Structure 1
Amino acid sequence: MDIIYMFNQQIYTETDKFPDYIIAIFFFTPIILGLFFFIRNKRFDKKWDSGIFPEKYKFNQDNLLEAYLCLAALIIQLKKTEKSKKILFINSYFNRYFKKSNYNFSDSLIYSFKHPIQINTVTHWLKKNIKDRIERIHVIYFLTGITMIDGKISLKEKKILILISMQLEININDLDRIILIYNSYRESIEKNKSRKINTPEKIMQSSRILGVKTDSSIEEIKKAYRKMVKLHHPDRFQKSGIEHIKIAEEKFIQIQNAYKTMTNSKC
C-alpha cells in the first residue's frame, strides 16, 4: 500500500509542475476531437441516406470505387435481369483494374440499392477530381459494360447513360462508340472471332467506332484513326495507374481492329 501511495504522490507532484490550462488541453483534446469526428460522420451518414455523394470526400481509390458503385446500383435497378451476372461483372472489373484496392463492395452495393444516389452529386465529385476527360470516359465504359450483360441496352438504360455522360462532359458520340465497341466484342466472341459476321455489318460497326462513313476515303479513315489513337492510346495513361492503362489497352485493340476492317474494305 505504501508503494502505491508513493507512486500516486509522485504523479500528483509531477502534474503540479504544469499550468492548469495545459492539463485541461491534455484531458479535453481527445474528447473534442472525438465529438468532431462523431458529428462529421453523422453528417456524412445523413447525406448518404438522402442520396447525396459527399462533395468533400477525399479522392482516393476506395472512394472512386464507391462512386462507381453508386452509379452501378442505379443502372442495375433499372433492369434487374441477370442481376447476379452484373454483380459478378462489377467484382471482376474491380479485381482486374483496381488490384491494389482492398475494397469490399458488397455492403456498399446493398446500401446503394436501398439509398439511390442523386446522379448530379456523384458526377460533380467525379468531374471535380478527374480532370482528364478520357479518364472520365472510363466510368462510361464500366457502366455500359453492366448494361450489356444481358445482350442489349434498354431505353431507360440508354437515357441514364446519356444523362451521366452529359454531366461528365462526355460527348454523346463517344457513348455511341463505346456501345458499338461492346457490341463488336460480344459478336466477335459469339460468332467465332468475328469470322461469321457478314462483311457489311462489320464494316458498319467499324465505321461508327472510328466516327467515319462506310464510303469514306482511305485518307479520311486514317485521319479519324489517328485522332482516336491520340485520344485513347495507353501511353496517355502512364501516370494514371495500372487500372486506367489496362482499360485503355483493351479499347485501343478494338479501335485497331475497326481500322483494319475499314482499310481492308478499300482494297
Structure 2
Amino acid sequence: MSFSKWIGASIGWSFGGPIGAIIGLALGSVVDAMANGKDVEAATRQRRRVNYETQRHQPQTQSGDFEVSLLILASIVIKADGKQDQRELDFVRQQFVGMYGKEQANHAFRLFKEINKQQHISTRQVCLQIKQMMQHASRLQLLHFLFGIAKADGFVTDSELSQIHTIAGYLGISHVDYESIKAMFYENADNAYKILEIDKSATNDDIKKAYRKMAKKYHPDKVVHLGEAHQKGAEEKFRQVQEAYEKLQKERGF
C-alpha cells in the first residue's frame, strides 16, 4: 500500500482542527522527502493524491484517528524531559510493528519523525479535539500507551509524569482513572488497590464489585471500533486488572 493510500485510509475526523494543522505540516515534509530523486510533476501528483485521499473521508472516529492522536501525544511526552531517548523512540516503533505490521508501522513512524520535528504543538488544543471526538475507552488506551513510552527507558521522570498528568486532565480523564493506569507501571504494595480504584479499607465485597466494574471499563470490546490491533493493546490493561484482583484474593484469602 502506498503512503498516500495508507494515510487516506487512516484519517477521519483528525484531519481538521489543530491536529489537522500538525499532520498537514508533517505530510508536506514526508511528500517532499519522497520526491527526492523524482521530477517535480511526480511530486505534485503525490501531494494531490494525499490531499484527495485524506479529504474524501467522513469525519467519524476510526483506527487512524487513534493512531494520529497517539503519534502527536507520544511526541509531546518524549520531549517532556528535554531529551529524546532512543529507547523511547524504539518503543514507539516496536509497538506499531506489533499492532500493524512492518509496512504500516514504517509509514506511521515516518510521519511520527516529522511530527517530532515540530517545535510548537499546543497540548491543550490537541487534547481538547481528541476529547471532543474520541470515546472515553479509547482515551484511556491512549493514556496507557503514553505511560508505556515514558517507562521504556526504565523509569518515568518527573517532567514526563507531569506532562502525562496534564494530558490526562485535558483529555477529561478523571483522577481515579489516571491513578489506576499509572499504578500499572509502578511497583508498589498498594498498586492492586489503585488499579481497582479502591483503598485498603475496602471490604472483600467492595473488591469484588470494583473488579467487575473495572473489568467492564477496560474490556477489549470497548475499543472494538478501533480494530483488532488496538484490542490487543486493551487486553494488557484488562490483564492487569485481573492480576490485581487475583493478588488481593490471595492476600485476603477469599
- 1:172 Cα deviation (Å)? 2.0
Q: 1:245 to 1:49 in 2, by over 3 A?
A: closer
Q: 1:234 aligns with which of 206, 209, 220?
A: 220
**Larger Cα Rg: Structure 1 or Structure 2?**
1
> Gaps spanning 5+ residues in structure 2: where?
1-17, 27-54
**CA deviation digits over 1:2-26, x for unaligned, max 9?**
xxxxxxxxxxxxxxxxxxxxxxxxx
Higher relative contact order (CA 8 A, sep 6+): 2
Match in the other structure for 1:212: 198
1:91 corresponds to 2:93: yes
* Residue identity in the other structure for 2:69: A
How far, CA to CA, are the matches of 1:237 and 1:64 in structure 2?
Answer: 10
TM-score (norm. length: structure 2): 0.69
Partner amino acid, structure 1, of 2:127: T
Partner of 1:124: 128
Contact 1:74–1:113 (8 Å) recurs in 2: no
Whole-Å separation in 1 of the counterparts to 2:111 and 2:23: 14
Letter in 1 for 2:240: Q
Distance verdict in 2 for CA 1:64–1:263, change over 3 Å? closer
| Aligned twin of 1:172 | 175
1:183 and 1:171 map into 2 onto residues whose CA distance is 19
Q: Distance in 1 between matches of 2:138 and 2:161?
A: 20
1:159 equivalent to 2:145? Answer no
Task: Give the superposition deviation at 1:166.
Answer: 1.3
How high is the sequence identity, in percent, across the aligned residues? 24
Q: How many residues align?
A: 205
Asked whether the 8 Å contact 2:168–2:178 carries over to 1, the reply is yes
Instruction: For residue 154 of structure 2, give the secondary structure of its aligned residue in structure 1.
Output: coil
Residues 40-93 of structure 1, C-alpha deviation per residue, up to 9 Å, x if partnerless?
Answer: xxxx9x9449999xxx99555445423222221121112256711111110111
Structure 1 residues 225 and 121 mapped into 2: Cα distance closer, same or farther (>3 Å)? same
CA-based RMSD of the aligned residues comes to 3.3
Match of 1:70 in 2: 72
When residues 82 and 111 of structure 1 are mapped into structure 2, their CA distance, relative to the original with a 3 A threshold, is: closer
> Structure 1: where are the runs of 5+ without partners?
1-43, 185-200
Q: How far apart are the structure 2 equivalents of 1:105 and 1:224?
A: 38
Deviates more, 1:121-130 or 1:244-253: 121-130
